Amino acid sequence: MNTVIIKNIFRSTTTLCMRSQKSINTAAACIVKRDFHTTKPTQDLMEFFDAKKNWPETNIRVGRAWKLDELRLKSNTDLHKLWYVLLKERNMLYTMEHECNERVRLFPNPERIDKVEESMNNIESVIRERNIAYYKLETGETGERPVKDVINLIGMPEKYQPSEYDTPKFMNTRWVRPYLKHGFINSLAVKKFRRLYNEKIHSEVRKAHNRDFNHVQHLLKRFPNLDMDTLKAEYPNVDIEKAKRTKKSRGHFMPTY
């Protein structure tokens, strides 16, 4: 009788241990399991490096970058996954480039970084297009931060996108005092810089106009039967009639104009 009781107790104990071990393994598997990853095998830190078969290679065949027309056909979920795939690829390429520089080796196909960055920029462009279309449909606005024309500290016009700051404008003494009250824009140094800068721009424009005018004179001298309409379309800022009357435009022939 005691033997049967002992056997029953042993069986129940063994069953409970197996069930508890199974539940522990299931819970551990749930904890270790990743909800979202872009590769089937998880290689931990080795995902920052290229495949080992490509390490001794000097030329790796790769494809081209993703085009805008191709990305516009994909859903937002696919674009989100593709973004992380490209992000991991870019991190891997940066790591391999750094490692090659450390080992004084030639990084194979460095244009891969440019292709990945171009693809990521195209994805951002497609997402921005969709966001603008959505906000225009819902609110009638683009949804992006407005851009306005402002004058910077050296008196030059620039595009400015407002952004959030932890300090309001009227409390930001570090910005208000030099920029508004004392007026760096109206200071003597800024006025001198603007005067010299405008003089430089005017000189460059004048030199470019003189180069075009001299070039037109040489063309009239070498080709007396040149089509004037084509010449005016090519050099709209040059006075063709004035160039005709100059001595440089006349060759060893009797002018027909």
- Cβ-based neighbours of 249, under 8 Å, separated by 6 or more: 216, 217, 218, 220, 221, 243
Q: What is the pLDDT of residue 181?
A: 53
Q: How confident is the model at residue 76 (pLDDT cuts 50, 70, 90)?
A: very high
Q: Residue 157 phi/psi, 5° resolution?
A: -70, 145
CA distance 85 to 171: 44
CA distance 130 to 48: 32
- CA trace torsion 129, 135, 141, 142 (10° rounding): -20
Residue pLDDT, tens place only, 159-193: 888 888 888 877 877 776 666 555 566 778 888 88
Residue pLDDT, tens place only, 200-239: 999 999 999 999 999 999 998 888 888 889 889 999 999 9
Q: Residue 11 phi/psi, 5° resolution?
A: -65, -45
Residue pLDDT, tens place only, 11-54: 565 555 555 555 555 544 444 445 555 555 666 777 777 777 77
Residue pLDDT, tens place only, 89-145: 999 899 888 888 888 888 888 888 999 999 999 999 999 999 999 999 888 888 888
Q: What is the pLDDT of residue 55?
A: 75
> What's the token pair of residue 214?
């001299």
